[in-house]
Structure formats: structure tokens, C-alpha cells
Amino acid sequence: MTGLIMKFAPIGVFGLIAWVAGTQDSELLVSLLQLIACLYLACILHIIIVYGGLLKFATGLSVFKFFKKIVPAQLMAYSTASSAATLPVTMQVAETKLGVSKVTSSFVLPLGTTVNMDGTALYQGICVIFVANGLGYDLTTADYVTIVLTSTLASIGSAGVPGAGLIMLSLVLSSVGLPSAEVIGLIAGVDRIMDMMRTTVNVTGDSVVALIVDKHEKTLNEEMFNDAPSTVSS
């Protein structure tokens, strides 16, 4: 079913963008493109710096190997925009390529799919700042703290399905007194493009956590992770 939906996804995304391009003025379109570019940049930096750094410092494993092996799960996340739909692929990659034990992957990954959504929190934070700037609303330090707290909570509360983060965005917007209904209608047209990227971050984060937990539990198959020939004689 996911495969079938994905065949139609480009047409759907095209339709959404065409609607935004056709109904909004060019200035708004440029702002929305800047928002998308900003989110993509933040997500890429988050994956490389935060996840790469976390993996290196917490496990000592090769970051390059991890990024090479996680690609199938990332591609599935990017194309479906759903952590839940990607879960079977994430678990398969974790167990057959990263060397994560079945016990760890079957506990950490489904849990991460529901609560660990860094990409969604990043997206909500960026969107709120984008809206505040657009409306000329001056955010105070207390507002920034509120944004951090509410976007973290809203991301935990978001389901691993497409568009969940957009619905929870209204919570973050109203927490600092910004209008939510109009803004959500505006962002909805380009949300799918951002959803694809934030889901990729979410899925990558779940896999990093699974590796860290498994290493800590001493059940990680490092030979599999390093593609080294197994030392267990048959």
C-alpha cells in the first residue's frame, strides 16, 4: 500500500506546490522557499553534527559506516514522510546491517518512532520563528524558552504519520500568542516537502539511539557493523 501511495506522491506534492504558487503572491512564495531551505540546512547539520557527534562519542563507532548503512531507511523515510511506515525498514537495517540486537531494536525503534522526533521539534521551532519574523512580532527570551519546551513536547506528542507535526504546530504557535489557523493553512501547501526531511531526521535519530543503547547493553554485533568477518567459528 505504501509503495502504491508513493507512486502517486510526486503528483500530490506537485499539486500542493502548484496551489501555493498559483494562489499566493511571489513574495510569500520566496519566503516559503527560504523556510524550506532553512529547515533542510538545519536538518542536515543536525544529522551530521548532533547524530554524528553523539554516535562517535557514545559508541566510538565509525560515523561514515553508519551514514552509509542507514541510507535505505532514510530514503524510505524521505519518500513516505512517515516514521511509522518506515519502521519495518529501520528495524531491518538496524538488525541486518548495523548489528543491533533484535531485543534492542524491537524495543527502542518502535518507542523512538512514537516519541523521538528531533526533526519535528526543529521544524516547529523554525516555523514559529519564521511566522514571528513575518508578522513583525518581537520574541523575548521567555518566548524562546517556551518555544523550545512546547516544540519538544509537541514533537513527543506527534504521531509518526505524514502531517502530524503540522497539526501540533498550532500548539507551539499559540503558546507564544501567534495566530495558528491562518499560518497552518499557509504552511500546509509546502509542508510535505518539509515533512519528508524532518521524518528522515526522526528515523536517523531512532537508529542512532538504538545503536547507543545496544552498545551500552553490550549486545551490539560490532563485526556486522564493521563488515568484519565473524570471529565465531561455524
CB of 168 to ligand ASP, least distance (A): 8
CB of 31 to ligand ASP, least distance (A): 21
> Which of these segments, 19-27, 59-67, 159-167, 207-215, binds ligand ASP (CB under 6 A)?
159-167
CB of 121 to ligand ASP, least distance (A): 9
**Binding flag, residue 165, ligand ASP (CB under 6 A):** yes
Residue closer to ligand ASP by CB (options 81, 210) is: 81
CB of 115 to ligand ASP, least distance (A): 11
Residue closer to ligand ASP by CB (options 105, 124) is: 124
Longest alpha-carbon distance in the chain: 68
> Which of these segments, 7-15, 35-43, 193-201, 216-224, binds ligand ASP (CB under 6 A)?
193-201
**Binding flag, residue 160, ligand ASP (CB under 6 A):** yes
Q: Which of 161, 184, 186, 188 binds ligand ASP (CB under 6 A)?
A: 161
By CB under 6 A, what part of segment 80-119 binds ligand ASP? 81-83, 117
Rounded Cα distance, 222 and 204, in Å: 19
**Binding flag, residue 199, ligand ASP (CB under 6 A):** yes
**Binding flag, residue 16, ligand ASP (CB under 6 A):** no
How many residues in the chain? 234
Residue closer to ligand ASP by CB (options 81, 108) is: 81
Query: With CB under 6 A, what is the number of residues at the site for ligand ASP?
Result: 16
What residue is closest to ligand ASP based on CB? 165
Rounded Cα distance, 206 and 77, in Å: 12
The 3 state secondary structure assigned to the chain is CHHHHHHHHHHHHHHHHHHHHHHCCHHHHHHHHHHHHHHHHHHHHHHHHHHHHHHHHHHCCCHHHHHHHCHHHHHHHHHHCCHHHHHHHHHHHHHHHHCCCHHHHHHHHHHHHHHCCHHHHHHHHHHHHHHHHHCCCCCCHHHHHHHHHHHHHHHHHCCCCCCHHHHHHHHHHHHCCCCCHHHHHHHHHHHHHHHHHHHHHHHHHHHHHHHHHHHHCCCCCHHHHCCCCCCCCC
Single-letter amino acid code for the residue at 214: D
Q: Which residues bind ligand ASP (CB under 6 A)?
A: 81-83, 117, 120, 158, 160-165, 195, 198-199, 202
